[in-house]
Amino acid sequence: MTLPQPISLDKIIKNVVLVRVSFDVPNLDNLERIKDALPTLKQLLEQKNKLILVTKWGKVKELPKPEQMPDHQLSTSNLLPVLQAELSDFGLETKPVYVNQFASPDFAAVQHSQQYFAGNSNLVLLENAHFDPREKSKNSQERLQIAGEYAKLANFVVDEAFASSHRLEATNAEIKTLRPFALGLSYTREVANLEKLKKPKKPFVVLMGGAKLETKLPLLQKMLPISDQILVAGLLAFTFIKAAKLNAKKLGMDSDLPEIFDSFVEENFVPQAQELLLQYPEKIILPVDFVYDEIIKDGQVKKLACDIGHLTITKFVTYIQACQSLFWNGPMGFFEKPPFDKATHQIAQIITESQCFSVLGGGDTNAALGPEILAKFSFVSMAGGATLDFLSR
């Protein structure tokens, strides 16, 4: 789908604006995504606009009936007090009002939202966009149809949901064909920083950990030609080590490959891992040692590699200290269970002490590290899947 060009945020003045945000934190445990959108809201409010916020919230399994929605655990009505607190911490003295757009089929409740904009509120928070299946329908006509309902509510649209940018949804895609739109400040910052990694200053190191090689292969394939080294850790490493063992002679890696014992291998991706290793034998850097844990499963002792070992850390550090730019996605080990968080923290420390342009890409790695160290990276992406998708394109 081709979209018109965005306009500048500065151009939206004294209007009603539908702002697509990504407040997608159903457990309310990590409020960074809310905080991240506040500067955009502030600017729009200072430009005397009235705002209607819409977000997806969590994974909706069964669709509630409109009258049940406000009581549903994934109703954005649960988000209201948190949003209120965040707004006021940020110095925005506005009282957000929750309105269920789905209460009537033609969104009449919101169309009459002038009443909500009365008093001291200039901010409406709509119900969870995913409560209507048309929002993310595979059928573009259905998405267009509900986008039309949203378009009735506002003269302008602002997209501040970079984290959803890899998904085609009515409130981040079709709506932009119906109303002039601008990108939010955080969205713009995400794109600008991630763009830099598409033409990185060299040497460029990519650090890949975490799980699900399936979701990370497109990024690996895109990054291998433009990077100098890809350091592989986390659960991803086991599939590569298995693949390397199958080609050990050809790769001249025999003695370097550590035992993985009962650690989880994504068997169906072993062939692709083999291909990549043969194509880029110098660039793909694998762990040389691990820290293990023993668990009992079905009455048997299983030995699992739960973190990269100190020799691997030392090896990775030499590349990190020599690079000019770095992208990191995915924790080095099973960080939720200390002491297997050790390598993740040590590596983070080394990166933030180095002078390189360092970008941390989303998801669980952000959670593993905590705000103090995150602040020392050049840029921390708020998105998970969207970041990987943007860099893979």
Question: Does residue 330 belong to the site contacting Mg ion (CB under 5 A)?
Answer: no
Q: Could you tell me the smallest distance in angstroms from the CB atom of residue 352 to ligand ADP? A: 17
333 binds, among Mg ion, ligand ADP, none (CB under 5 to 8 A by kind): ligand ADP
Closest CB to ligand ADP among 96 and 234? Answer: 234
User: Which of 154, 34, 17, 14 has the alpha carbon at shortest distance from 84?
Assistant: 34
Q: Which residue in the block uniquely carries the two structure tokens 């068997």? A: 267
Q: How far apart are CA 231 and CA 312, in angstroms?
A: 10
Vertex 184: Cα angle to 178 and 185 (nearest 5): 160
In the complex with Mg ion, the residue whose CB is nearer, 227 or 329, is 329
- Dihedral sign computed on CA atoms, order 40, 41, 42, 46: positive
From the list 12-20, 40-48, 81-89, 356-364, the region that binds Mg ion by CB under 5 A is 356-364
C-alpha span between 121 and 240 (Å, rounded): 55
* Contacting residue, 96, 184, 200, 210, with ligand ADP by CB under 6 A: 210
- Piece of 14-22, 97-105, 271-279, 363-371 that binds ligand ADP (CB under 6 A): 363-371
Applying CB under 6 A, the site for ligand ADP has a residue count of 19
**Residue 200 interacts with ligand ADP (CB under 6 A): yes or no:** no
Number of residues that bind Mg ion (CB under 5 A): 2
Q: Break the chain down into helix, strand, coil percent, rounded to 5.
A: 45, 15, 40
Q: Which two tokens stand for residue 171?
A: 């409130």
Which residue in the shown chain puts its C-beta closest to ligand ADP? 363
Q: Please state the closest distance from residue 343 (CB atom) to Mg ion, in A.
A: 17
Instruction: Supply 73's token pair.
Output: 């655990």
Among 96, 287, 333, 363, the residue binding Mg ion under the rule CB under 5 A is: 363
3-state DSSP assignment of residue 158: strand
Report if residue 96 touches Mg ion, rule: CB under 5 A: no
Inter-CA distances, 148 with 107, 143, 151, 179, Å:
10, 9, 5, 10
Question: 305 touches which of ligand ADP, Mg ion, none (CB within 5 to 8 A by kind)?
Answer: ligand ADP
The contact set with ligand ADP (CB under 6 A) reads: 209-212, 234-235, 305-306, 329-331, 333-336, 363-365, 384
The contact set with Mg ion (CB under 5 A) reads: 363-364
